[in-house]
């Protein structure tokens, strides 16, 4: 009997040990998702017909103009009414001094980019906007005085109506720069330095990334794009507000490699006299790989040139061109919208899975989406949505019609999109539970039944947003 008891006791211990291992494994998967690949086999994804979904004509969009000069007449008006974000520039804190920003004497806070934070975070969104400019008389270039541009970070929450409200003081982001002589064609703005045109996105490594426009580090070049791979390194408040271990979001470890800062310059610089803003960061694949910090770049929307990062140095990321192969798709966007106007970049590229949130994500049912602009000689902007393949060679799949956003006067004002964010019903009502996904998808991953929050710049002096649905923006596409 004692032998039997011993065997049973050993078997019980083994069972208990196995249960502990399973529990630890499940806890590890739920709290540290990067230890497990997002491409785990969990079943067949929902098969979708891309063409049917993308070319579908949404309700009330029949007989509307498709692009400039279309004989059908009016453009579609999309979304809820535009909402202005109230913000007091007098409360901006200068990160260098810890005191209110002094000597800001040109402009106001505008051009807001946002990043959706995971459920359970202290804020709903991280915001980074272009702040007021300061005249700095310490240096002149070609006789023109120096001028400093700043970016301002803040926490934002969303009301039940889909409007954004700043819930923290704005704080400047520190980018050590000085005036350079690399952009003589800028005239009076040659001595202007600092950061502008922020774009926020989640890196595949689960960090909150930022790109921004700035003067190039080389004096024989004009403009370049800076890259910060973790906003927590320059905006410490975010570390306390961000919930980690969920939705692919990594904890911040504060580590920097020897001689390597957090701030990098993307190598594709602009030559003298040119300023190109068609920079669209993205990450390959339908799901995050859990490792990649540096994004790929769609550099020219019109010709759909893609750049692939091949080398990272202490200060720069070096790219090579990605051959898009299909010559028909390379000119698809340009043929649709550039007959009279040039094409301007608007938002980063975001993953969109073409079924309702909670379905299985695959490369067959997932595409990349971005808003882009047509720009007239008088700086009037028109918006359209384009879709791209998530797999190599990242070619355009379709291009959509021009549309107006509700409450925007595009004939007389300057309104341009900056970033997008997916909004679930649970984001608009505290009684609705968030929809769980069977795989790790990041907070900026869209599904077909989501709303889409669009942030915009208005007349270069205000921060505005519009809330629409994915489906009303997605339809009436031309296939490439």
Q: Are 81 and 73 in contact (CB under 8 A)?
A: no
Q: What's the pLDDT score for residue 270? A: 65
Q: What's the pLDDT score for residue 356? A: 96
Q: How many residues can be counted in the chain?
A: 480
Q: Which residues pair with 182 in a beta bridge?
A: none
| Residue 344 included in any domain | yes
Q: 438-453: string of b/e by CB count within 10 Å (b at 16+)?
A: ebbbbbbbbbbbbbbb
| Residue 15 included in any domain | no
What's the CATH code of the domain at 443? 2.115.10
Q: What's the pLDDT score for residue 56? A: 94
Q: What's the pLDDT score for residue 187? A: 81
Q: What's the pLDDT score for residue 32? A: 34
| Residue 2 included in any domain | no
- 48 CA to centre of own chain: 25
Q: What's the pLDDT score for residue 479? A: 95
Q: What's the pLDDT score for residue 13? A: 43
For 349-368, give the DSSP string. Answer: -EEEESS-TTSPP-TTSEEE
List the end-to-end C-alpha distance of the chain, in Å, as a whole number: 77
Q: 90-118: string of b/e by CB count within 10 Å (b at 16+)?
A: eebbbbeeeeebeebeeebbbbbbbbbbb
Q: What's the pLDDT score for residue 43? A: 58
Q: What's the pLDDT score for residue 272? A: 59
The segments of the chain whose pLDDT lies below 70 read 1-43, 255-262, 267-277
| Residue 226 included in any domain | yes
Cα distance between residue 74 and residue 287, in whole Å: 38
* 8 Cβ contact list (under 8 Å, min separation 6): none
Q: What's the pLDDT score for residue 275? A: 60
For 147-162, give the DSSP string. Answer: EEE-EEEEEEEE-TTS
| Residue 379 included in any domain | yes
| Residue 29 included in any domain | no
The domain of 419 spans: 42-479
Q: Are 115 and 247 in contact (CB under 8 A)?
A: no
Number of domains into which the chain is organized: 1
| Residue 402 included in any domain | yes
Q: What is the pLDDT of residues 184-219, one digit of tens each?
A: 777 887 888 889 889 999 999 999 999 998 888 777
Q: What's the pLDDT score for residue 175? A: 86
What whole-number percentage of the chain has pLDDT above 70? Answer: 87
| Residue 26 included in any domain | no
């Amino acid at each position: 009997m004692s032998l039997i008891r011993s065997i049973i006791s050993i078997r019980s211990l083994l069972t208990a040990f196995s249960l502990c291992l399973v529990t630890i494994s499940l806890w590890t998967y739920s709290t540290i998702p990067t230890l497990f690949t997002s491409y785990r086999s969990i079943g067949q994804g929902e098969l979708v017909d891309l063409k049917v979904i993308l070319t579908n004509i949404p309700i009330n969009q029949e007989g509307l103009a498709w692009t400039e000069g279309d004989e059908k007449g009016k453009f579609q008006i999309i979304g809820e009414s535009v909402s202005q974000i109230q913000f007091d520039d007098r409360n901006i804190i200068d990160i260098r001094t810890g005191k209110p920003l002094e000597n800001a004497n040109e402009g106001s806070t505008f051009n807001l980019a946002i990043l959706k934070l995971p459920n359970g975070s202290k804020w709903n969104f991280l915001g980074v906007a272009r702040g007021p400019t300061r005249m700095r008389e310490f240096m002149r270039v070609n006789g023109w005085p120096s001028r400093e541009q700043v970016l301002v970070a803040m926490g934002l929450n969303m009301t039940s109506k889909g409007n954004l409200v700043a819930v923290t003081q704005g704080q400047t982001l520190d980018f050590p720069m000085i005036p350079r002589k690399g952009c003589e064609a800028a005239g009076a703005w040659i001595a202007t330095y600092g950061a502008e045109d922020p774009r926020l996105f989640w890196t595949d490594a689960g960090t909150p990334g930022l790109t921004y426009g700035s003067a190039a580090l080389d004096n024989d070049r004009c403009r370049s794009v800076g890259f910060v791979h973790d906003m927590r390194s320059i905006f410490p408040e975010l570390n306390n507000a961000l919930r980690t271990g969920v939705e692919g979001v990594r904890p911040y470890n504060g580590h920097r490699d020897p001689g390597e800062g957090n701030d990098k310059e993307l190598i594709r610089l602009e030559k003298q006299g040119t300023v190109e803003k068609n920079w669209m960061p993205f990450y390959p694949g339908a799901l995050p790989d859990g490792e990649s910090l540096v994004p790929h770049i769609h550099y020219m929307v019109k010709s759909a040139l893609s750049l692939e990062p091949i080398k990272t140095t202490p200060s720069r990321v070096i790219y090579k061109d990605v051959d898009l192969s299909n010559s028909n798709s390379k000119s698809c966007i340009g043929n649709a919208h550039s007959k009279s106007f040039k094409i301007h970049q608007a938002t980063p590229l975001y993953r969109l899975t073409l079924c309702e949130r909670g379905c299985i994500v695959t490369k067959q049912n997932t595409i990349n989406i971005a808003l882009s602009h047509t720009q007239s000689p008088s700086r009037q902007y028109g918006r359209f949505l384009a879709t791209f393949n998530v797999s190599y060679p990242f070619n355009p799949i379709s291009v959509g019609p021009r549309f107006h956003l509700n409450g925007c006067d595009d004939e007389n004002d300057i309104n341009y999109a900056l970033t997008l964010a997916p909004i679930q019903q649970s984001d608009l009502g505290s009684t609705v539970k968030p929809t769980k996904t069977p795989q790790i998808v990041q907070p900026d991953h869209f599904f077909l039944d989501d709303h889409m929050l669009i942030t915009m710049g208005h007349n270069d002096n205000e921060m505005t947003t519009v809330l629409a649905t994915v489906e009303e923006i997605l339809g009436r596409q031309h296939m490439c």
